[in-house]
A and B are shown apart, each in its own frame.
Chain A
Amino acid sequence: MILIIQCCREKLHYFEFVKPIEDVLKKNEKLFESVHYRCVNKKVVSKADKIIISGTSLKDNFFLQDLECFSWLKKFDKPVLGICAGMHILGLLFNGSLKEKTEIGLNNVFFEKEFLGLKNTVECYELHNFYVESSEFEGFARSKDCLQAVKHRYKPFYGVLFHPEVRNKELLEVFASL
């Protein structure tokens, strides 16, 4: 089962940031369960083979005040994909820092190495006011302005700043099949 951890404060944002991920998994006949980060418990984590942490809206930074709700991830050893806010969370859990940079809409991302099926230059959908940098992650791709795709140096933890549930849905399919 793939556990989708929802980061949205506003329930209407489920449709924008979580349902498109669910739709990709459904289409690929992958079992999944979606849970808000404040409702994650040991039982649901124990059933998860992989985890996807969703993004949220530009104005929603409430998850940053709740980072302790994600601290259990440090001991998790199965694949995790953080999308936008999810990437921020992974970076911050591993001693990273947030930096301001706004990118909204379609944008070219340059992959130095293949990353979950994406390589070379790929047009991606962006929706962020911040990005994260952590020395515990290796960079795989950048836009003109900032880091876009990372992987933890030792754990199977991946982060993307862009939104693969909008463009490049195949990245989610590759992650789901790891």
Chain B
Amino acid sequence: MRCAALFSGGKDSTYAVFLAIEYGYDVSCLVSIVSENLDSYMFHTPSISEVKKQSEVMGIPLLVQETRGVKEEELKDLKNVIERAKVDFDVEGVITGSVESAYQASRVQRICNELGLECFNPLWQKDQLELLQDIVRNHFDVIVTSVSAYPLNRSWLGRKIDEKFIHDVEDLYSRFGINPAGEGGEFETFVLWCPLFGRSLTVVDEQVSGRNNSWRMEIKVI
């Protein structure tokens, strides 16, 4: 089945694409939403401009839709771009990296239902530590690009997801209730390499901003 994947460049959407391809689905295009609203309810935003580089090293075309990021209005923009994927790439299904958010998942389900498309959520309800372990086991090279919860701070920016990272977030989960995979928006990530990439991406620039427990790192990759 030809599918479009909602793609933010982070660990969840990339791992969802990886699973879909592993299971024999044809991921015909990636769909990314660039939101003016840095606190969008629906869309992961740090370093979204670099998704183009990920699409190039995966050899999968990218459709980009800009949105003002106003709640609910951004859903119309999402529907428009999914419709474009349906027409331009003849897709029959949409793949998402939703794990826990009923808010996000149900809105994408509604759009797919209206457009007559299958909706695939292969990470749905997945245990968050299991998700991190799967990502490490499959040799994904993933870094943290934003944090927004106590006691996470600037020192977490750029950290790789590895065994030590899993150990540390497991500890923060037990002490502070931080979702281990950042499902509550505690942190966002960017994938520099995974088995779908023809080559690794390298960070050549970092612009860090923020304060206290809310930091973001805009990166440039080549």
A15 to B96, CA, bound (A): 12
Q: Mark A14-36, 1 if CB is under 8 A from B, else 0.
A: 01100110010000000000000
Residues from chain B with a CB closer than 8 A to the CB of A12 are 19-20, 23, 25, 95, 120, 122
Q: Which of B20, B93, B125 has the most CB of A within 10 A?
A: B125
- Identify the closest chain B residue to A10 (Cβ): B118
Residues from chain A with a CB closer than 8 A to the CB of B105 are 105
* A20 touching B125 in the complex, CB below 8 Å, given contacts A10-B120, A57-B118: yes
User: Is the pair B106, A104 in contact by a Cβ cutoff of 8 Å?
Assistant: yes
B-facing mask of A80-97, CB < 8 A → 1, else 0?
000000000000000000
A-B contact pairs, 8 of them (CB 8 A): A11-B24, A19-B125, A59-B116, A102-B113, A104-B106, A104-B113, A105-B102, A105-B103
| Chain A CB within 8 A of B68 CB | no
Query: Is chain A's interface secondary structure helix, strand, loop, or mixed overall?
Result: mixed
By a CB distance below 8 angstroms, the chain A residues around B103 are 105
> How far in angstroms is the closest Cβ of chain A from B153?
32
Chain A positions 105 through 136: 1 when the CB is less than 8 Å from some CB of chain B, otherwise 0: 11000000000000000000101010000000
- Cβ of B109 under 8 Å from chain A: yes
B146 to chain A, nearest CB (A): 27
Which A residues are within 8 Å of any B CB, using their own CB? 10-13, 15-16, 19-20, 23, 57-60, 102, 104-106, 125, 127, 129, 165-167
- Rounded to whole Å, the gap between the CB of A115 and the closest CB of chain B is 21
Q: Which of A15, A20, A105 has the most CB of B within 10 A?
A: A15
B109 touches A127 (CB 8 A): yes
Bound: A57/B125 CA distance, A: 15
Q: Which of B170-217 contact A (CB under 8 A)?
A: none
Once bound together, how far apart are the Cα atoms of A77 and B183, in whole Å?
A: 41
- Place the interface of chain B in its size category: 20 to 34
Contacts A104-B109, A166-B125; A13 near B120 (Cβ below 8 A): yes
B113 — which chain A residues lie within 8 A by C-beta?
58-59, 102, 104, 129
**9 closest Cβ contacts across the A-B interface?**
A105-B106, A20-B125, A15-B122, A16-B124, A16-B121, A12-B23, A58-B113, A59-B118, A12-B120
> Are the CB atoms of B123 and A15 closer together than 8 Å?
yes
Contacts of B109 in A (CB 8 A): 58, 104-105, 127
Asked whether B60 is an interface residue with its Cβ less than 8 Å from the other chain, the reply is no
**How distant is the Cα of A10 from the Cα of B119 in the complex, in angstroms?**
11
Q: How far is the CA of A23 from the CA of B121 in the complex (A)?
A: 16
B88 in contact (CB, < 8 A): no
Closest to A26 in B: B127
Flag whether B126 is at the interface (Cβ < 8 A): yes
Contacts of B118 in A (CB 8 A): 10, 57, 59-60
